[in-house]
Amino acid sequence: MSSLTDLPDTESPDKRTSSRIDRVLSLIERAGNALPNPIVLFTALFVLLAVISTALALADVTVTVPGTDDTKAITGLFTGEGVRWLTENLVTNFATFPPIAAVLLMIMAVGVAEKAGLLETVMRATLARAPRALLPYLVALVACQAHMISDVASIVLPPLAAVVFKSAGRHPVAGLIGGFACVGAGYAAGFTIGSLDALYIGITQQAASVLPAAQDLDLNLLINYFFTASSSLVLGLLGGFLISRVLEPRLGTYESSADEPESEDLTLTPVQRRGLLLTALVVVLYAGAVLSLWLPDGAPLRGEGGALVPSPLLTGIVPALFGAFLLAGLAYGFTVKSLTGSEGVVGAMSDSVKNMSGYIVLMFVAAQVIALFNWSNVGVLLAVKAAAGLDAIGLTGFWALVAFVLLVACLNLFIVSGSALWSLVGPVFVPAFMLLGMSPALSQAAFRIGDSATGIITPMNPYVFLLLALLRRYEPEARLGTLISRLAIFTVPFLVVWLAILGIFYGFDLPLGPGAHISLK
């Protein structure tokens, strides 16, 4: 029997395109599968760094930070000094690694809100009554805030968007794929704050600490807030446009089949509405109490000299957010009876932390790698060489950021874990860009773009296969290549527009967050 490749004249352009995409995806998948588990990868990196640091130490290599008289000698791990350092600091490196406590604290609070059903109810309330014409834009806007509930967003929002689209007489596949694409490609955007922000800032703080200039910086959870909030609005409009004007027309006329899931009633019950109202009241009162401790003259959460920025509130924003999520989850859960007593609350917190076990192991190894980067001074050496290399080829300023974003976007095809990828590139590029006069907040903002845009088109993303399973409920013959070709509609536009937004912030020297400037000041 002849194969499809033997009949080029009769094969449709869509099938030929899908076949090419399948081949590219197979190549990416094979290359990605050849990579070890991130934990093994970081363990190997630690060993490699130990060998390199020892060799450089034996060669008496030193590095001078440009603009200072600070000359640092490279110290090796496989020396007497290195063995003593590791023995004394192995536990401390992990226990004091900034992302650990902040991320787990946020996860516990968000876990209560999720277990209570608050987060899904908010999404239902937002989407259920949306006008038909505005529905794609609302789905995209909600999706660009979804990192607040971590990876759960990739599971909950796409099928919910499909149901809403179908109920509104629109193509459910457009809601399914568009919702997933906007969750992933805009994952690090949003005017909401969550565990992702705590993860990023912890690694950024560690990476910046190798240079003396970091001592004068206020690196807090909100250093990218202005950038991510404005980005989410623009990307929401862009995502809605791509769903309604590009993706949906390509899907053709929608015809339901008997195998499809039945339409779901998205109307909130009276108890759910009462729960939302009470939750909103609790959050408003809590926010008012926090602001009353920050805004008035002489308030205890004001900074030195009565400054609003920097201040203890921004430095301690994680506990403030923990309280907001916890109170919201408790108010809603006890109102709708989804949480019953202290056991339910403790169980929700425990389950959310239990699901982070793999992350905790990864952070243990990543903490050792970054600590060794800092202690050995290899991180400073690499940063100085990287900054000098970029300057030598004339790749400085915004174009250096563009190159960095593209590098991260390519690496993201193979290393889909944001924590692993930022732990890998942050210790080199954060100080390198600082030596070029750019703030750590700017490096982190650039990383957000590359870490989001390409995650939706790689077979290394396990949620892509979940999406494929959901898609086959509407299109039983759908293949991975077809799905990726539809998701790819969003990748380049999101990448280009998000870079343009960063360019506006850069060009007009706009603050990326409270007290977070583009350049080192």
Alpha helices in 74-151 (DSSP H): 80-95, 98-115, 118-127, 135-143
Q: Which long-range contacts (CB under 8 A, 24 or more apart) does 395-399 make?
A: 396/436, 397/436, 397/506, 398/502, 398/503, 398/506, 398/507
pLDDT the model gives residue 153: 80
Q: Are 117 and 338 in contact (CB under 8 A)?
A: yes
Residue 56 counted as domain residue: yes
Query: Could you tell me which residues are beta bridge partners of residue 64?
Result: 71
Residue 82 counted as domain residue: yes
Q: Which amino acid is at 91?
A: V
Number of Cβ within 10 Å of residue 98's Cβ equals 18
pLDDT tens for 390-442 read 888 888 899 999 999 999 999 998 888 888 899 989 999 999 999 999 999 99
Q: How many domains does the chain have?
A: 1
Spell out, as residue ranges, where the chain has pLDDT lower than 50: 1-11
CA-closest candidate to residue 248, choices 133, 143, 129: 133
pLDDT the model gives residue 152: 72
SS3 call for 192: coil
Residue 83 counted as domain residue: yes
Residue 279 counted as domain residue: yes
Residue 20 counted as domain residue: no
pLDDT the model gives residue 16: 56
Can you state the percent helix, strand and coil of the chain, rounding each to 5? 70, 0, 30
Say which residue the tokens 């201040």 belong to: 311
Number of Cβ within 10 Å of residue 113's Cβ equals 28
**Residue 291, CA distances (Å) to 189, 221, 330 in order:** 24, 17, 21
Tokens coding 234: 């623009």
Which string of DSSP letters, residue by residue, matches 302-335? --GGG-SSS-HHHHTHHHHHHHHHHHHHHHHHHH
CA-closest candidate to residue 501, choices 236, 239, 227: 227
Angle separating helix axes 418-435 and 38-58, nearest 10 degrees: 30
Tally the residues of the chain. 521
d(CA 485, CA 24): 11
**Which domain range does residue 168 map to?**
32-507
Residue 17 counted as domain residue: no
pLDDT the model gives residue 18: 52
Query: Phi, psi at residue 475, to the nearest 5°?
Result: -130, 90
Which string of DSSP letters, residue by residue, matches 346-380? HHHHHHHHHTTHHHHHHHHHHHHHHHHHHHHSHHH
Residue 4 counted as domain residue: no
Residue 9 counted as domain residue: no
d(CA 123, CA 173): 18
